[in-house]
């Protein structure tokens, strides 16, 4: 009976994967005792929005202001020999079987949610803009970021005369840190939901998507530059200290932490804009004709001939998105619903 029900479920899943409207397949299995019921749902996700970024796009642009949307790929039904009898394949396993989005192996490197931006003109018109602190959380976040940035700039020799190696080293180190807040926030809210036995109201998925997105930045740059032992040791130490402190502060005041991250991402937009300007001014000739890594072309859906500049434009837009999301999270209560939940595309910040 299990085998028969599994076969029917596979057929329903196959039908749902062909539908452009994201059909939902459901079935129930009755155990021999007649009491146990198991349900299987296969959802074809449509679109996930991270919210509007109106305030941080150049006012001179004639392009309508768009929200950050993550469009998910339909989950496809795996071959029958890849699925254990009576067990429906996890969506991630289905994607892994059908499409290898890693590099050189079958490992699924990123989930079904990927960045998607409306136009090249939109990416070009993003400019660094500063949000003036208003609350106590804003001031602590802003000055905390300023102290860290100036200290890091001094230690690493950041300045107007940067070469490609210096840029990649800086990007790599910063992205190892930037991937921590989203994971900590998602984990803390996940544990809180379990502990209080209440719904999270949609924050977890957005925070974990942020963490994965920052990790993809890191993996992209790792394809272009391999750091040495000293660098890796510094990363281990920094990650341990930062994660410990951020977890502690998040347990005390999530609002302060999200405000801190929003200003941290503001600085990231400035940094990537500086690098893009260096490319435009001819200071990085080695990046004029470089081919971006395969994993980044798949993740950001870049064309085959995408340039390093195209890649940095997409990453800068990611950082702008994170700045906006954390600004909104810092301004609402921890028990409020996530305004960036799937299906929402317009957020009044």
Residues 215-256: pLDDT tens digits?
999 999 999 999 999 999 999 999 999 999 999 999 999 999
Residues 98 and 216 in one domain: no
> Which pLDDT value is given to residue 196?
93
Give me the pLDDT at residue 100, please. 55
- Same-domain check for residues 105 and 131: no
In this structure, is residue 339 part of a structural domain?
no
- Using the 3D structure, point to which of 86, 111, 136 is the last residue of a domain: 111
- Categorize the per-residue pLDDT at 48 as very low, low, confident or very high, splitting at 50, 70 and 90: very low
Residues 1 and 133 grouped into a single domain: no
Q: How many Å apart are CA 194 and CA 188, to the nearest integer? A: 10
Classify residue 39: in a domain, yes or no: yes
Position 72 in a domain: no
What is the sign of the dihedral through the CA atoms of 56, 59, 63 and 66?
positive
Q: 75-84, 92-101, 104-113, 184-193: which has the minimum mean pLDDT? A: 75-84
Distances (CA, A) of 7 to 26, 95, 178, 207, 316: 13, 19, 44, 36, 46
User: Which distant-in-sequence residues (6+ apart) come within 8 Å of 172 by Cβ?
Assistant: 218, 221, 222, 225, 227, 231
Q: Residue 156 has which token pair?
A: 């690493």
Looking at the fold, whether 202 and 134 belong to one and the same domain comes out as yes
Question: Domain range holding 88?
Answer: 1-44+78-111
Residue 189 has pLDDT above 80, yes or no: yes
Report the distance separating Cα 268 and Cα 139, nearest Å: 18
Tokens of 52: 């509007």
Domain count along the chain: 2
pLDDT at 270: 95
Statement: residue 142 has pLDDT above 90: yes
The answer to whether residue 249 sits within a structural domain is yes
| Same domain flag for 147 and 89 | no
- Quote the pLDDT of residue 118: 66
| Confidence band of 274 (pLDDT split at 50, 70, 90) | very high
- pLDDT average, residue stretch 29-58: 38
- 46-60, 270-284, 288-302: least confidently modelled range: 46-60
Position 158 in a domain: yes
Q: What is the mean pLDDT of the chain?
A: 75
Give the pLDDT confidence score for residue 87 in this predicted structure.
62
d(CA 82, CA 190): 31
One domain for residues 157 and 275: yes
Q: In the prediction, which pLDDT does 221 show?
A: 95
- pTM beyond 0.75: the answer is no
Does a structural domain hold residue 340? no
**Residues ≥6 apart with Cβ < 8 Å to 210:** 181, 182, 322, 325
């Amino acid at each position: 009976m299990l085998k028969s029900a599994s076969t029917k479920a596979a057929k329903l899943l196959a039908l749902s994967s062909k539908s452009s409207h994201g059909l939902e397949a459901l079935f129930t299995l009755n155990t021999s005792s007649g009491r146990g019921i198991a349900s299987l749902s296969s959802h074809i996700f449509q679109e996930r929005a991270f919210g509007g970024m109106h305030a941080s796009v150049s006012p001179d642009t004639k392009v309508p202001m768009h929200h950050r949307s993550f469009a998910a790929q339909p989950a496809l039904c795996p071959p029958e020999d890849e699925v254990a009898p009576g067990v429906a394949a996890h969506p991630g396993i289905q994607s892994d079987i059908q499409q290898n989005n890693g590099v050189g192996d079958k490992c699924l490197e990123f989930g079904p949610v990927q960045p998607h931006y409306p136009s090249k003109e939109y990416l070009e018109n993003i400019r660094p803009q500063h949000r003036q602190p208003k609350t106590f959380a804003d001031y602590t976040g802003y000055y905390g970021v300023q102290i860290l940035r100036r200290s890091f700039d001094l230690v690493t020799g950041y300045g107007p005369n940067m070469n490609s190696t210096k840029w990649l080293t800086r990007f790599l180190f910063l992205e190892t840190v930037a991937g921590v807040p989203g994971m900590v926030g998602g984990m803390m809210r996940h544990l809180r939901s379990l502990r209080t036995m209440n719904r999270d109201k949609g924050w977890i998925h957005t925070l974990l998507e942020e963490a994965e997105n920052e990790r993809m930045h890191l993996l992209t740059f790792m394809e272009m530059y391999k750091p040495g032992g000293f660098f890796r040791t510094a990363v281990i130490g920094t990650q341990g200290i930062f994660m410990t402190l951020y977890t502690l502060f998040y347990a005390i005041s999530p609002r302060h932490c999200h405000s801190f991250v929003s200003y941290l991402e503001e600085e990231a937009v400035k940094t990537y804009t500086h690098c893009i300007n260096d490319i435009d001014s001819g200071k990085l000739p080695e990046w004029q004709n470089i081919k971006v890594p395969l994993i980044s072309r798949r993740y950001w859906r870049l064309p085959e001939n995408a340039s390093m500049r195209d890649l940095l434009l997409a990453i800068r837009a990611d950082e702008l998105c994170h700045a906006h999301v954390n600004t909104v999270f810092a301004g609402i209560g921890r028990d409020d619903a996530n305004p960036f939940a799937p299906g929402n595309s317009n957020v009044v910040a």
